[in-house]
Each structure stands twice: as C-alpha cells, then as structure tokens.
Chains A and B, each alone.
Chain A
Amino acid sequence: MDLGEINPVLLVASLMVAATPLLLAAIGELVVEKAGVLNLGVEGMMIVGAISGFAISVETGSPWLGFIAAAIGGAVLSLLFVLLTQVALANQVASGLALTLFGLGFSALLGQSYVGIKPPSMGDIHIPLISDIPVIGPILFQHDPILYVGIALTAAVWATLKYTRVGLILRAVGENHDAAHALGYKVIKIRIMAILFGGACAGLGGAYISLIRVPQWTEGMTAGVGWIALALVVFASWKPWRALLGAYLFGGITVLQLNLQAAGVAIPVEYLAMSPYIITILVLVILSADKSSAPASLGRTFHASH
C-alpha cells in the first residue's frame, strides 16, 4: 500500500471528470422536476445516450457528433416517457422504471458490435499560459470541452430559472399545474419540453462516461450513476449550484475510492466499491428532513378537466 502514489492535483482534476456525467444528468432531471415531473428513467436515458454517442463517434470519427447523437438518443428515449406520462397519463414512477429497464436492454442490443472498441478521443483544451499554471492549470484549465459545457449548463439553468419568464413559467407549472392551466399556460407542452431537455442532458451524461471517462462500451456501464443523479437533485434542494457542489462531492468520493483501490489500501475492494452508494443513502437520510423546496406538483398527473 502506498498512499503517496495518490497525486492530489490529479485527484482533483479527475474528480471533476468523474462528477461531470452526474452533473449533466442531475441538471437535466432538476429542470424536469422543477416542471413537476418525476422521471425515474435517468439511468435508462444515460445508458442509451452512452451507446448512441459511442456508436456515432466510432462510425463518424467525431466525438462532437457523438455527443450530439447522445443528446438526441436520450431525448428520443424520454419521448417514450412523454407518451406514457403526458399522453397516456400513466403513473410516473412505473413509467420511469419502464424507461430504465427498456433503456438497459435496448442499449445492450445496440452495443453488441461495439464491445472492446476504443472511441476517437476528444482531446483536452489547452489555452497557452493559463493551462500551464502549476496546480491551477491542470485542475481548472486542462479538461475536455464537455466538462465545461456541464458547468455552463448549470449556470444557464440557474439563470433561466431565476431571471427569465420561461423559468418563472416552468416553476409555476411545477408548483401548481391547475393554477398554471387556469392562467392559460400549456402545462403539458411545457412539461414535454422539460422532459426532452432532461433526456438530452442524461444522454450527454451517458456519453461522457462511454466517450471520455472510461472510454469504451460495456453493457450496463452507467452502474447506477443515473440513480445517484436522482438522489443528487434531492440533495441539491432543486438548486443548480448545489447540484454542481453535490456532483463534485460524489465525484470526489468515487475518485478517492478508486485511488484507494489502486493504492492497495487494506480495505477490501468490494467495500470501497460500495461506498458511493452507501454515501448516497447517508446523504439522502440527512437531507430528507427538509422537503420544503420540492415542487408542489412533483409526480402528480395533470389532466385538464373542466
């Protein structure tokens, strides 16, 4: 065992990488939940995003096209959720589970011929001077572009929810869909847009795992990240910047336990591997006391009756 092998700078830099898929998925789900919809299919949308992104970048050689495909893939899968919950008015919990079960199977089917292939690399950005600053450079300015997209998205979602009319309407729909309907807002339409956005974000998060973090394709490779992202939204009290903080926290735990595994710490590998899940539970317990910030219409089906 040699803890000295763990390089703190690399550790911080890699925790940002580990956190990004979580962040992308959580930001998407946050918007969905703000609109009053609980989509438990994040895991399914992520894994479909992971394989769509992987397949398209392998076929085209362009990771950028891959990420676009991943966003589309996630959104298309979320369209099934739209059909179930917004059109067929099915229970959102059951529909989310269906999405995940279906997504896991579907991605495995799509991914059969992609096992063991290496995807084209995206490459990290490198800004002369700034990226070369010791410590700060590698931590903040030597990452792949999507990582920055994740942070930008967080800022954008925060600003939109807080300052824009679209954000206000979205919150209003999630708060009281009957009132929003009475004022003439198109509850279903707004929710559909939110769900599609959530799907696209989850797809991006999935592709980040298969194209950058790992990078390769294996069945079920999201391994619960989608579910942790759902927990993260609760952790964040539906606030974007807290989601970022939470994602980095979880990213940190993941990276740390991987580093400890690699360093050969005396704790058995299995216990280290289960730690992110146990910590998720602990965080949920600590934060579940305060549900006041949850959107009031969350998970309720809306049907306009006169």
Chain B
Amino acid sequence: MIVLEKRPQPSKAWSYATPLVAVVATMLFGGILFAILGKNPVEAIGTIFWEPLFGEFAFYYRPQLLVKGAPLVLIAIGLSLGFRAGIWNIGAEGQYIMGAIFGAGAGLAFYPLDAFYIFPIMVIAGAFGGWLWAMIPAFLKVRFGTNEILVSLMLVYVAEQMLASVSLGLLKNPEGFGFPGSRNLQAYDSAHNAELIAGSGMHWGVVTALIAVIFAYVLLNRHMLGFHIRLTGEAPRAAKFAGVNPARLILFCLGVSGALAGLAGMFEVSGPSGVVSIDFNVGYGFTAIIVAFLGRLHPVGILLAGGLMALTYIGGEIAQSQLGLPAAAIQVFQGMLLFFLLAFDLLTNYRIRAARSEVA
C-alpha cells in the first residue's frame, strides 16, 4: 500500500521539477487525446511546440510569441500576488475588457487630434479601468466580507455585456457603415501601440510585462509588503500577528492585478487587435490563471510559463490550419496542464512511500 508522508519542509528540487513534469505529462496525455481525434500525436505535438520556434515560418511566429505572451504574463503577474496571499481574483478577463474599453475610450475621445500625450493618457486610463473593476470585489470584500471569487467572476459577464454595449453604441465607429466595433486604433497614430522595432513583435505591452516581472520579483523577495503578501497566504493568523492589515492587503493585491489586467487589455486593443468589438476578449484573463500556477506564482516562472502558453496558442493555431486539430483541443490541452501541475505539486510537500498495511 502507498502512503503519503508530509515532508518536514517543502522540497526545493520538486518545486522546480513539477512544472517540467507536468508539461511532459501533458504532452503525453495530450498526444493520446490527439490520437483519439485521429491525428498523428507526434506530428501534432511537434507542430505545436516546434513549428512556431524553428519551423519554416518561424520568422513570422516568433514575434507572435511576444504578442500573445505579453498579456498573459502581465495578467498572471498581478494574479500571482493575490494568489500568494490567498486572495482569489479570477475576474481578470473582466478587468482586461474594462482596461481596453477605458484605454480605447480615452484615445478615441481625442480623435482625430495628433499629440504625444494621448498614448500615455490611454495607458493611465487602461490601468485605471482595470483597477476600478477590481476595486469592486476588493471593496465589497473589505467592507462586507463578500467572497471575491464569485464577485470578480460575475463581473466578467457584466464586463462582456459592457463590451457589447460600447461596441454597438458609445464607441461604435461613426464611419463604420453601421457595423459594430470601434475605429481602428492602428490607423490612429497618436493612439497606436505600434511595434517598437518593426517585425519584432515588441510593443509597449511587452516592455511593461518585463517591468512587471522585475517589479514583482523585487516586491516579493526584497520588500516588506511582499513578505506580508507571502505571510498572509502561508498563515493568515501569523500575518495578523505580524501586524499586516488584511484590508489594505486585499485592496493592494486586487488593485495591482486589476491595473495590470487593464493595461494588458489597453495594450491589446491599441496594438495587435486595434478595435473594440464584441469578440475582443479571447480568454487571456482565464488562461493567465494557468500561467500563474504553471509559473509557481514566481515572477520568473510566470515569464517562462507565459512563453510556453503563448507557444501552445500559436502552435495550436498552426495545428488547426495544417492538421485540422480543433481549437477546443488546445483549450483542453491547456486545462490538462493545470491539472497535472496541481497533481504533481503534491510531491513538493509530501513524499510517497510504500508501506505495510496502515490505517489511514
């Protein structure tokens, strides 16, 4: 019989190894899934992980990695702060949408004025939009003790309706022949989040994501506030004893994650997407939850995990067009990754040991 035995302290080695083991297991079971779908598993996995990086059209896909990875990393960094403290913001998708609406709205308000300050204003507006949306669950939790998981999630659906509303109303392109959706910000230079180096995929969102990684790293490892965040997650009573003000921590964690998600939305709408439309959001806010866990809630880990997840997005699209792999298969693949990660995480804190019969 097999028993679990709690380790005297978490295993360092396993905490690095579990994400890798989870990726391998996901490839294995993903392969089986693809085989069931009638695809050659080796070819499918190869297409997803190899093609975007080293394939024939890698010059096109590599920049896409940055474009897809940046919002994931940006959102996941924010989420990870809260997750570390046991504050569960799972409504990043809504904050992402609100960031896009506020950011685009601020830019379009100036149309067609040409000025250097428009883009910075949009950045602030985007962060503000996401922050504001996250402040709703934060305030309700602090003031009334309302569950932030449910509130932040409900607000995703509300934000989606808001998005539909502004796409059809407030922000609708007056010259769009009645079609829903805003003016294309890519065509409005002062508001366009253009590539910093043409063809590199590097835009302001990528830069911001990297800054966020550094910021989070310093915060968590070198600053009292970061220590308090970790302490609250590990032992809430000890945190209170150490003098942490839980309300302030909730406001900070939700606020930062909201603002970062809002920034991600703003950079997306003013750059790669360009348009506020009903189908603007593609689930980055939810995928970022996987990224955050896959990166073990560690800033550097999240950076790597964001890259990997971007890879599965792009690779998935290639597999979709080349092999006819359904889009949903990639979603399942990503879900599996989170599953295996959580399952193998057991090994960080527990040892598996064969034992003689034992009463559990």
Contact present between A and B (CB < 8 A): yes
Which A residues are CB-close (under 8 A) to B145? 288-289, 291
Min C-beta distance of B294 to chain A, whole Å? 11
Which A residues are CB-close (under 8 A) to B15? none
Given contacts A97-B289, A102-B336, A285-B140, contact A112 B158 (CB under 8 A): no
Which A residues are CB-close (under 8 A) to B320? none
Check A105 against B331 for contact (C-beta < 8 Å).
yes
Check A109 against B161 for contact (C-beta < 8 Å).
no
A186 to B240, CA, bound (A): 34
Per the 8 Å Cβ criterion, residues 96-116 of A in contact with B are 97-98, 101-106, 108-109, 112
The answer, yes or no, to whether B102 is at the interface (CB within 8 Å) is: no
Q: Which of B144, B157, B335, B344 contacts A224 (CB 8 A)?
A: B157
Q: Which of B6, B286, B289, B332 contacts A303 (CB 8 A)?
A: B6
Check B343 against A102 for contact (C-beta < 8 Å).
no
The answer, yes or no, to whether A227 is at the interface (CB within 8 Å) is: yes
The answer, yes or no, to whether A88 is at the interface (CB within 8 Å) is: yes
A87 to B74, CA, bound (A): 33
Which B residues are CB-close (under 8 A) to A219? 328
Given contacts A227-B154, A281-B155, contact A271 B161 (CB under 8 A): yes
A91 to B342, CA, bound (A): 8
Min C-beta distance of A303 to chain B, whole Å? 7
A84 to B338, CA, bound (A): 11
A278 to B155, CA, bound (A): 8
Q: Which of B155, B333, B350 contacts A277 (CB 8 A)?
A: B155
Chain A, residue nearest B163 (CB): A270
The answer, yes or no, to whether B329 is at the interface (CB within 8 Å) is: yes
**Highest count of chain A CB atoms <10 Å: which of B333, B335, B345, B346:** B335
A230 to B344, CA, bound (A): 27
Check B157 against A88 for contact (C-beta < 8 Å).
no
Check A271 against B165 for contact (C-beta < 8 Å).
yes
User: Interface residue count for A (Cβ, 8 Å)?
Assistant: 49
Min C-beta distance of B136 to chain A, whole Å? 8
The answer, yes or no, to whether B11 is at the interface (CB within 8 Å) is: no
**Main DSSP-derived SS at the B contact region:** helix
Min C-beta distance of A103 to chain B, whole Å? 8
The answer, yes or no, to whether B147 is at the interface (CB within 8 Å) is: yes
A303 to B90, CA, bound (A): 27
Check A224 against B339 for contact (C-beta < 8 Å).
no
Which B residues are CB-close (under 8 A) to A95? 342
Which A residues are CB-close (under 8 A) to B210? none
Min C-beta distance of A140 to chain B, whole Å? 31
The answer, yes or no, to whether A273 is at the interface (CB within 8 Å) is: yes
Which A residues are CB-close (under 8 A) to B6? 303, 305
The answer, yes or no, to whether B151 is at the interface (CB within 8 Å) is: yes
A131 to B103, CA, bound (A): 56
**Highest count of chain B CB atoms <10 Å: which of A93, A101, A291:** A101
Q: Which of A40, A84, A105, A288 contacts B144 (CB 8 A)?
A: A288
Check A268 against B169 for contact (C-beta < 8 Å).
yes
The answer, yes or no, to whether B284 is at the interface (CB within 8 Å) is: no
The answer, yes or no, to whether A127 is at the interface (CB within 8 Å) is: no
Check B334 against A105 for contact (C-beta < 8 Å).
yes
A190 to B168, CA, bound (A): 51
Chain A, residue nearest B341 (CB): A98
Which B residues are CB-close (under 8 A) to A253? none
The answer, yes or no, to whether A156 is at the interface (CB within 8 Å) is: no
Which B residues are CB-close (under 8 A) to A274? 157-158, 161-162
The answer, yes or no, to whether A223 is at the interface (CB within 8 Å) is: yes
Would you mind naming 28 contact pairs between A and B with Cβ atoms under 8 Å apart? A83-B343, A88-B345, A89-B4, A94-B293, A94-B338, A97-B338, A98-B338, A98-B339, A102-B332, A102-B335, A102-B339, A105-B328, A105-B335, A106-B335, A109-B332, A112-B326, A112-B328, A224-B154, A227-B153, A230-B150, A231-B147, A280-B150, A280-B154, A281-B146, A281-B154, A284-B146, A285-B140, A303-B4
> Residues of A with Cβ closer than 8 Å to B?
40, 80, 83-84, 88-91, 93-95, 97-98, 101-106, 108-109, 112, 186, 188, 219, 223-224, 227-228, 230-231, 234, 268, 270-271, 273-274, 277-278, 280-281, 284-285, 288-289, 291, 303-305
The 10 closest A-B pairs by CB, nearest first: A105-B331, A102-B335, A108-B328, A270-B165, A109-B328, A274-B161, A105-B332, A90-B342, A270-B161, A88-B346
- Further contacts, 10 of them, CB under 8 A, given A105-B328, A108-B328: A84-B343, A91-B342, A94-B342, A95-B342, A101-B334, A102-B336, A105-B330, A223-B157, A277-B157, A281-B140
> Residues of B with Cβ closer than 8 Å to A?
4, 6, 37, 83, 88, 90, 136, 140, 144-147, 149-151, 153-155, 157-158, 161-162, 164-165, 168-169, 286, 289-290, 293, 326-336, 338-339, 342-346, 349-350, 360
